[in-house]
Structure 1
Amino acid sequence: MGLSRSLSPKFYTWLCGLFAALGSVTFGYDLGIIASVLPSENFNGVTGHPTSTQQGFITGCLLLGAFASNIWVGSVADIFGRRRAILAGCMLFFLGGGLQCGAQSINYMYGGRFLAGMGIGMLAMLAPLYQSEIAHPSIRGRLTTLQQFMLGIGAFVASFIGYGMYHGTKGPIQWRLPLAIQLLPAVPLALFILLLPESPRWLAMQGRSDECHAVLARLHARGDLNDPFVIAEHREIIENVELEKKITQNAWSQLFTSRSNLRRLILGVALQFSVQMTGVSCIQYYSPQIFASIGISTSVTLGLQSGNSVIALIGEALCVFFIDKLGRRRPLIWANILSGFTFIVGTILIAVFPAGGNANASRAFVAMTWLFNLFFSAAIGPLSWCIPVEMFNSTTRAKATAITSSAAWISNFLIAQVSPVAFASVGWRYYLVFAICCMSNALFFWAFLPETKGIPLEELDAYFERVPILVPGSGVIVRDARAREEELRRGEVYVGADQVIHVRDEKRGASMGEKDAGEMVEHVI
């Protein structure tokens, strides 16, 4: 509590979101370190010299585990709370990571990767969920895109550790130590997550109104329970949660029977599938094979990936700083278009100059992969976690994002399994798939994805009811989130799509009134 009183509310909330995203460091590290583990001679000896198919399954087990956890993690988060669910994810990750670094056969690796994947799947879904539910509207994007930034830090660390261990050590330490290091970021998360404030929206869902009020004050007003913004925000959350309980008796069925919810669910699933269709996982998992096709050795490739991880961090940092100013829709569209162009140029280079026929072509190809990574990291990757958690109401949010996250893992797994076969069958022509998909992604999101920047979570149901399915030309305007925060400070509380309640602190002689929200459409959207 002392820290929350001494820091500005938005900075304190941002720090809480940053700490919750520690699990994503393990996510990025685990995805990145496997590329340097698989070539280790000692690792191959211990695991029985796995075939390329078995190596692909070692990689894929992590993704299958993440997919499996997302089937039930939404219900766990709704029953036990966001913080306890994050703690459970850490415990599963510790178990899986321990099995990996102590593996005595390939079966240990399969089991360890699957269990670690379950933990990672939980943490990757729960961190942005928690961040979105504690954030001010004006910094929600900055918090939820921390997921990808912390993932980038994990990949950055993995690239340098993997490169150093691959070249500087021999024997078991070459792969056991890098796999053990993955456990470190989850230790402080597991130890201290319960000291963070619980999601105020989850507390409201449990009927714990006073605790919800106290947490909002701690997050947004240095503990001042009488702050006008906190009073209005608390009232808006409580009123909307009560309304949602009446109209959403069964959250699972409402996701599929409500036209508005189904639309948002389809958008979220499409967004997660679109991420993998940019080719990002293909480059991440199979960079040695891809770079070898243009004449670059595995040793050099691991070094280049270290540079690539720096590029990713730069892009992710840009996203964190600017996403609440630029919004979600336009950066996502343009990043897909630019990523598609990098694949077009890269495909031409591999087709014309295969197997290192031209040193300049090899350098240009590397430059294209780095540019792709910059565009991907500056928008596509971070927004795939940011957008789904801010499209749903409190009753359906955890379950809906569990489904959209499941789409991320299963599509990731499919790309991991299909890519080696595609490389062997069609070679460089496989890259055309990603070039085409990047462009089709941009077209799809231009047509169907509304802007969600800065709209309070309690007002998104009404927003999606008003925005037509075909977005271009609809005339929808989203105001600066800071303007909506000022309305909350004046006591304007939105309840569903039907009314606006004006609330003032009763100690100041407050009154309450209602009016038709139809008059407020221009203010809301």
Structure 2
Amino acid sequence: MQENLYCGFFGAFAAGYCDPLGRRGTLALGSAFFIVGGVLQTAAEAISMLYVGRLIAGFGIGILVEIVPQFQAEIAHASVRGIVTSLQQTMLGIGALCATWVGYGCFTRWEDTGNSAQWRIPLALQLVPAIGLLSCIYLFPESPRWLIDHGRHEEGLTTLARLHSNGDISNAYVQAEYEIILSQIADEHENSAKTYAELFKNKANTRRIIIACACQASTQLTGVSAIQYYSPAIFAQIGISAEKALLYQGINSIIGEFAQFTFFFLIDRVGRRPLQIGGNLACAVAFIIGAALLAVYPPDTVNTAAHWAFIVASTWVFNFCFCASGTMSWIIPAEIFNTATRVKGISIATMIAFAFNTLIGQVTPIALENIGWKFYIVFIICDVTNALFFYLFLPETKGVTLEEMNDLFTNSPLLVVGSKWQPSPEVDVNRLAEKKDGLMEIENLDAKAVPVKVEV
């Protein structure tokens, strides 16, 4: 597990330098690495070959988890960007659901037989979506912002119209969006982040980096990695067999995906802040219940009802609550940066995700062995402080266009509680589109006007 996380960190770092390839090219590169790694794992004849495969696949995953939400954010209309970008987490949930149940089926089918199909089939399964992505990626449109940023203006406008107005390049909204993108990119070329250090050269960028990294770090500090990686070991402490543990994980995956689809339709309705804050607080409550149950009824206690209550609270209820805030770790970093800083900004945030994931993965088994249920107090404190941080400092980005983000993070107050922000006229796409609509109507009226001959 850890080798995947280490290489994921470096894959995310490498993705920060893949901008010349384009969004589709970077997706193809990440998929290719993952496929090579997956093939080596599936065909492994020695543990060393399996490790090498995991290292290569982990590097590919690092690239993919950095570029996917970025690509989604850049092609989506502001009104549905939350839903589109949340597909990253939704698909992760579907993948986990499939992997868990296939793993459970293979475990029970070939238990104690020594048949390598027990682990080869689950490993081979991961190749299916990767091959599909690599095969189809060039059928997708390239990011219009990347095209415009690289001088392919006409192609960028055409793609923008294809995505936002069914191909009508004369659409007022598309024209307004195109003009603002052109204007901002021209300005950004003078101040683009050529190195990671340059991301911190102004307050607005630093503010965005802190929020993006906080989103990723806070997700890991909810305790989700501890539950995902070590729930079988935790279940074993209370006398649950390996087969039952896998079954309960499968049920947990179903609950998680149900929750994901529930919040999927709320992201662009209620906004990012309520889900981020409320999700963290709900996770804290779930852990309080789980920790209290373990404190009163230790694992060696013969109390089936208490153990069931622990499973429900600390895994199933927790997982449902986590889906409210977990999705934000992909949505918010992908949407808050401008074109010049987006690649490297998301890269840093993704590296933070892998770093904290690795940290939790390393510490959890040691902590559970030495302090048991008291380790959950760490996650309770983190969940509460996460919620407090986002309540104070996270501005609402629902409905804000990517080109308005600069204005939001430059002109809105650092302490966002009770503050109000309106986009400046020069970056307000809707206002500019209304003006263009009005001009078009006047032009149409002029064109339809019938000249009147006046006799004197």
Structure 2 distance, partners of 1:87, 1:324, is 29
Are 1:128 and 2:73 an aligned pair?
no
Structure 1 distance, partners of 2:283, 2:254, is 18
Which residue of the partner structure matches residue 453 of structure 2? none
Which residue of the partner structure matches residue 96 of structure 1? 37
Which residues of 2 match residues 311-330 of structure 1 at below 5 A?
A: 311-330=255-274
Which residue of the partner structure matches residue 69 of structure 1? 11
Are 1:338 and 2:279 an aligned pair?
no
Which residue of the partner structure matches residue 450 of structure 2? none
Alignment match of 1:358 (pick from 277, 288, 303): 303
Alpha-carbon distance, 1:437 to partner: 0.8
Alignment match of 1:107 (pick from 44, 48, 64): 48
Which residue of the partner structure matches residue 321 of structure 2? 375
| Structure 1 gap segments, 5+ residues each | 1-58, 493-501, 511-525
Structure 2 distance, partners of 1:139, 1:175, is 39
Residues 177 and 429, structure 2, Cα contact 8 Å, conserved in 1: no
Which residues of 2 match residues 156-195 of structure 1 at below 5 A?
A: 156-169=97-110, 170=113, 171-195=115-139
CA-to-partner distance for each residue in 1:311-330, whole Å, 9 max, x for gaps?
11111112221100111011
Residues 291 and 376, structure 2, Cα contact 8 Å, conserved in 1: yes
Amino acid at match of 2:204: S
Report which of the two structures shows the higher radius of gyration computed on alpha carbons: 2
Alpha-carbon distance, 1:254 to partner: 3.3
Which residues of 2 match residues 251-270 of structure 1 at below 5 A?
A: 252-270=196-214
Are 1:288 and 2:229 an aligned pair?
no
Amino acid at match of 1:354: P
Which residue of the partner structure matches residue 393 of structure 2? 448
Which secondary structure does the structure 2 equivalent of 1:267 belong to? Answer: helix
CA-to-partner distance for each residue in 1:61-89, whole Å, 9 max, x for gaps?
1111110111120220x211000100001
CA-to-partner distance for each residue in 1:425-462, whole Å, 9 max, x for gaps?
21221111111111111111111111111111011111
Residues 347 and 428, structure 1, Cα contact 8 Å, conserved in 2: yes
Are 1:414 and 2:356 an aligned pair?
no
Amino acid at match of 1:473: G
Residues 145 and 319, structure 1, Cα contact 8 Å, conserved in 2: no
Percent of aligned pairs with the same amino acid: 43
Alignment match of 1:119 (pick from 56, 60, 68): 60
Alpha-carbon distance, 1:221 to partner: 1.7
Label 1:337 to 1:257 Cα distance change in 2 as closer, same or farther (>3 A). same
Structure 2 distance, partners of 1:477, 1:427, is 49
Structure 2 distance, partners of 1:392, 1:320, is 22
Which residue of the partner structure matches residue 86 of structure 2? 145
Label 1:123 to 1:259 Cα distance change in 2 as closer, same or farther (>3 A). same
Structure 2 distance, partners of 1:180, 1:66, is 20
Which secondary structure does the structure 2 equivalent of 1:198 belong to? Answer: coil
Which residue of the partner structure matches residue 209 of structure 1? 153
Residues 423 and 430, structure 1, Cα contact 8 Å, conserved in 2: yes
Alignment match of 1:223 (pick from 147, 167, 183): 167
Structure 2 distance, partners of 1:345, 1:398, is 40
Are 1:349 and 2:293 an aligned pair?
yes
Structure 1 distance, partners of 2:273, 2:226, is 25
Residues 180 and 429, structure 2, Cα contact 8 Å, conserved in 1: no
Which residue of the partner structure matches residue 51 of structure 1? none
Structure 2 distance, partners of 1:476, 1:353, is 50
Alignment match of 2:335 (pick from 368, 376, 390): 390
Amino acid at match of 1:142: I
Which secondary structure does the structure 2 equivalent of 1:398 belong to? Answer: helix
Alpha-carbon distance, 1:94 to partner: 0.6
Structure 1 distance, partners of 2:103, 2:191, is 52
Label 1:68 to 1:460 Cα distance change in 2 as closer, same or farther (>3 A). same
Are 1:244 and 2:185 an aligned pair?
no
Residues 193 and 199, structure 2, Cα contact 8 Å, conserved in 1: no
Q: For this pair of structures, how many residues does the alignment match?
A: 437
Structure 2 distance, partners of 1:160, 1:504, is 58
Which residue of the partner structure matches residue 12 of structure 1? none
Are 1:310 and 2:254 an aligned pair?
yes
Alpha-carbon distance, 1:248 to partner: 3.3
Residues 86 and 122, structure 1, Cα contact 8 Å, conserved in 2: yes
Amino acid at match of 1:372: F
Which secondary structure does the structure 1 equivalent of 2:44 belong to? Answer: coil
